[in-house]
Structures are given as C-alpha cells and as structure tokens.
C-alpha cells in the first residue's frame, strides 16, 4: 500500500493508462479490459487491473492538475514498479485546424506551472514524450486508420483563464492544445527513467468556442483508448 493507493504489490500491471477522471478509468476498464478488478478506492480515485489481448494492463484515475498526477505517477513508479504510463485525457484546442474530436499525441509539454523551478533553479527542463512510445502511437494510429496530430501542448494550472486571449501567445508558437497534467507526467517519468506518453482528445476549442457532447466524447475517446492499448 502507498499513501494514495491501497493496492498490494503485484496488483498493478507494468503498463498503466491514466485518465484524469476516475469514472473514465471505470469505463475504460469495463469496456476494454477482460476481467477487470478494482485495486484502489482511496479518495474515490479508482484504479483497475485487467488484461488486454491476454496481457495485464491497469487503468488509474489521476485527478486534475500537475500536483495530483505527480502523486499518482510517483507512487505507481516507485511503489508498484510501473514502467509505462500512458495518459488518456481531454484537451482544449488552441489552433483553428485542431478540431473538436481530434486526437493529439503530445510530443512535448510547455507549462505555466512551477514544479521545475526549484529543482532546475531558473534553468529550463523540456518535458518530452518517450520517443519509442511516441513513434509507436503514430504507427498504431496509421494502422487503425485513425488520424492524429502531434506536437507541443500546454499544461496549464488554470482552467478558467481571466484573459480570453491568453491562449494566443501559445498558439502563435504552434502549441496545439491545453490540458493540465502532461508536463508533470513527462518530468516524473524522466526523473525515474520510465516511459510516458500523453494522448489527448479535443473536447472543446478556445478558438471557435465549440464543445463536444458527452456522447460524442465517449465515441472519440474510443479511438484514443484503442491507440493507447495498441502500444501498451
Ligand atoms: O479529461 P482529463 O484527463 O481530466 O483532462 C483534462 O480535463 C480536466 C479539466 O476539465 C483536466 O484534468 C484536463 O487536463
Ligand atoms: O484543461 C483543459 C481540458 C479541456 N479543455 C480545456 O479548455 N482545458
């Protein structure tokens, strides 16, 4: 047992899918895994282990924001020996041609959080996807005929920005979309030398102000989960 996960050693697979929402974790486990068993209910942050094509895979809710995913990824890696962490999240588009329901593979994650300020003392670490997982995700998407976009994203500490134009400086530098966890996940994975990748489905657009319905989101999340499981 770790502080935030009440699983026994061996209950969690070496590969874990990480949605922010614990109910999405439940949906993924029940929809895509064979014989899913819940191993965590601390704080309602559900985690399940089952098999996919005979191979053990876990899915763990992370909550929202860098501090929350930092806690879960740290414990999964250091207390349960997890080697591969694949975030499956939602994101807001920063670009006109990144449309709702599109899937983004996060090559790197800029951020407005301060988690690397102290360890790097004013210098800049670039949180980056594991190259092998990144290439595998693009290949899996191609084989499944699922179109994806890949590039830099923003991990933000702020969901409700006061300035509606805040996104524009990031958009100008090619940042594709905004979410709230990936820079922390990539930093922690690098620190402990394990593999991490974020797959994101665009749920709304900061540019056009469109938004998906929950039904539509579920269908598009299907494709993102298929890619994640293909590289698990
Ligand atoms: O859908 P999830 O994985 O939670 O991801 C996005 O949704 C939440 C905000 O609504 C943040 O956690 C953000 O990163
Ligand atoms: O963090 C997020 C996630 C989805 N949509 C947003 O606008 N921001």
Give the residue ranges of the chain where pLDDT is below 70.
217-219
Cα(97)–Cα(171) distance, integer angstroms:
11
> Whose Cα sits closest to atom 7 in ligand 1?
90
What tens digit of pLDDT does each residue of 196-208 get? 999 999 999 999 9
Contact of 176 with 149, CB cutoff 8 Å: yes
Quickly tell me which residue has 């895994």 as its tokens: 33
Cα(232)–Cα(229) distance, integer angstroms:
5
**What residues form DSSP beta bridges with 123?**
none
Q: How far is the CA of 84 from the centre of ligand 2 (A)?
A: 24
Q: What is the DSSP string of 11-50?
A: SS-SEEEE-SSHHHHHHHHHHH-EEEEEEE-GGG--EEEE
> Whose Cα sits closest to atom 1 in ligand 2?
179
Q: What is the DSSP string of 81-105?
A: ---EEEEEEEEEE-STTS-TT-EEE
Contact of 13 with 86, CB cutoff 8 Å: no
Model ipTM? 0.98
Q: How many CB atoms lie within 10 A of CB 190?
A: 16
Kindly report whether the global pTM for this prediction surpasses the value 0.80: yes
Give phi and psi for 74, each to the nearest 5: -60, -50
Active site residue 11: no
What does the pLDDT read at residue 218?
64
Token pair recorded at residue 1: 């047992």
Q: What is the DSSP string of 130-161?
A: -HHHHHHHHHHHHHTT--EEEEEEEE-S-SS-
Token pair recorded at residue 44: 């309602």
Token pair recorded at residue 109: 């994650």
For residue 88, the ligand 1 atom closest to its alpha carbon is 3
Q: Which ligand lies nearest to the CA atom of residue 166 in the structure?
A: 2
Token pair recorded at residue 159: 């969901």
Q: How many CB atoms lie within 10 A of CB 205?
A: 21
Q: How far is the CA of 200 from the centre of ligand 2 (A)?
A: 10
What does the pLDDT read at residue 140?
98
For residue 206, the ligand 2 atom closest to its alpha carbon is 7
Multiple choice CATH, 15-231, 3.40.50.1580, 3.30.420.40, 3.40.109.10, 3.90.700.10: 3.40.50.1580
Cα(188)–Cα(93) distance, integer angstroms:
25
The domain ranges of the chain are 15-231
What does the pLDDT read at residue 212?
86
Residues touching ligand 2 (Cβ under 6 Å) are 90-92, 159, 178-180, 203-204
């Amino acid at each position: 047992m770790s502080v935030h996960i009440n699983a026994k050693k061996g209950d969690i697979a070496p590969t874990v899918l990480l949605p922010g929402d614990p109910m999405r974790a439940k949906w993924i486990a029940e929809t895509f895994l064979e014989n899913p068993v819940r191993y965590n209910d601390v704080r309602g942050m559900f985690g399940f282990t089952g098999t996919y094509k005979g191979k053990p895979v876990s899915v763990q809710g992370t909550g929202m924001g860098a501090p929350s995913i930092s806690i879960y990824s740290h414990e999964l890696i250091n207390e349960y020996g997890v080697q591969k962490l694949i975030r499956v999240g939602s994101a807001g588009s920063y670009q006109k041609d990144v449309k709702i329901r599109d899937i983004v593979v996060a090559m790197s994650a800029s951020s407005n959080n301060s988690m690397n300020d102290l360890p790097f003392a004013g210098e800049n670490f670039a949180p980056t996807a594991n190259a092998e997982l990144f290439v595998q995700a693009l290949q899996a998407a191609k084989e499944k005929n699922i179109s994806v976009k890949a590039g830099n994203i923003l991990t933000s500490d702020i969901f409700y920005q006061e300035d509606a134009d805040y996104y524009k400086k990031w958009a100008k530098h090619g940042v594709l979309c905004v979410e709230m966890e990936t820079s922390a996940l990539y930093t922690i994975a690098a620190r402990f030398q394990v593999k991490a990748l974020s797959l994101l489905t665009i749920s709304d657009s900061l540019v056009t102000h469109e938004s998906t319905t929950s039904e539509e989101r579920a269908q598009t999340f299907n494709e993102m989960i298929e890619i994640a499981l293909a590289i698990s």
